[in-house]
Amino acid sequence: MTTTTTTPPPAPGFRDRFPALANTVHLAACSIAPRSTDMDHALATMLDNLSHPGFWTACEQQLHEARRRFAHLIGADVAQVAILPNTCVAAYQAVAGLRWRRRPYVVCATAEFPGVAHVWLAQQPRGAWVRWCGTRAGQVTTDDYLRAVTSQTALVSVPAVTYRDAIRLSIPRIADAAHAVGAQVFVDAYQAAGVMPVNVGALRCDYLAAGTGKYLLGLPGLTFLYVRHPRGHLPTLTGWFGRIDPHAHDATALDFPPHARRFETGTPSTAAVYAAIAGLSLIDRLDLDAVHRHTQQLITATAERLTAQGESVRLVAQPEGQGAHLALVEPHTEAMAAWLAPRGIIVAPRGGVIRLAMHAYTTDDDINALCEAIASYRAGSRARQRTGATR
DSSP 50-102: HTSS-HHHHHHHHHHHHHHHHHHHHT--GGGEEEES-HHHHHHHHHTT---SS
Mean residue pLDDT of the chain comes to 94
Q: Specify the pLDDT at position 12.
A: 83
Of 341, 277, 286, 342, give the one whose Cα is nearest residue 83: 277
The whole-number average pLDDT for the span 2-14 is: 65
Q: pLDDT grade, residue 301 (50/70/90)?
A: very high
Nearest 5 degrees, angle CA 354-CA 356-CA 362? 160
Q: Specify the pLDDT at position 3.
A: 47
The whole-number average pLDDT for the span 145-155 is: 97
Look at residue 384 and tell me whether its pLDDT is greater than 70: no
Q: Specify the pLDDT at position 1.
A: 42
**How close are the terminal C-alpha atoms of the chain, in Å?**
35
Least confident segment among 67-76, 133-142, 353-362: 133-142
Look at residue 142 and tell me whether its pLDDT is greater than 50: yes
Q: Specify the pLDDT at position 155.
A: 98
Sign for the pseudo-dihedral over CA of 95, 100, 103, 104 = positive
Q: Specify the pLDDT at position 4.
A: 46
Of 160, 149, 225, 143, give the one whose Cα is nearest residue 183: 149
Least confident segment among 45-49, 74-78, 230-234: 230-234
Q: Output the pTM of the full model.
A: 0.94
Give helix 288-308 / helix 364-390 axis angle, nearest 10°.
30
Look at residue 177 and tell me whether its pLDDT is greater than 60: yes
**Residue 97 identity (one-letter amino acid):** G
Look at residue 258 and tell me whether its pLDDT is greater than 90: yes
Q: Specify the pLDDT at position 8.
A: 61
The whole-number average pLDDT for the span 269-287 is: 97
The whole-number average pLDDT for the span 101-117 is: 96
What percentage of the chain has pLDDT greater than the value 90? Answer: 90
CB 156 within 8 A of CB 130: no
CB 269 within 8 A of CB 89: no
CB 326 within 8 A of CB 355: yes
Look at residue 140 and tell me whether its pLDDT is greater than 60: yes
Write the pLDDT tens digit of every residue in 328-368. Answer: 999 999 999 999 999 999 999 998 999 999 999 999 999 99
Look at residue 385 and tell me whether its pLDDT is greater than 90: no
Write the pLDDT tens digit of every residue in 302-327. Answer: 999 999 999 999 998 787 889 999 99
Least confident segment among 30-34, 119-123, 199-203, 229-233: 229-233
Q: Where are the beta strands (DSSP E) in the chain?
A: 25-26, 81-84, 105-109, 129-133, 153-159, 184-188, 207-211, 223-227, 313-314, 325-329, 345-346, 348-350, 353-357
Task: Walk me through the domains of the chain, giving residue ranges and CATH numbers.
Answer: 15-30+289-390 (3.90.1150.10), 40-284 (3.40.640.10)
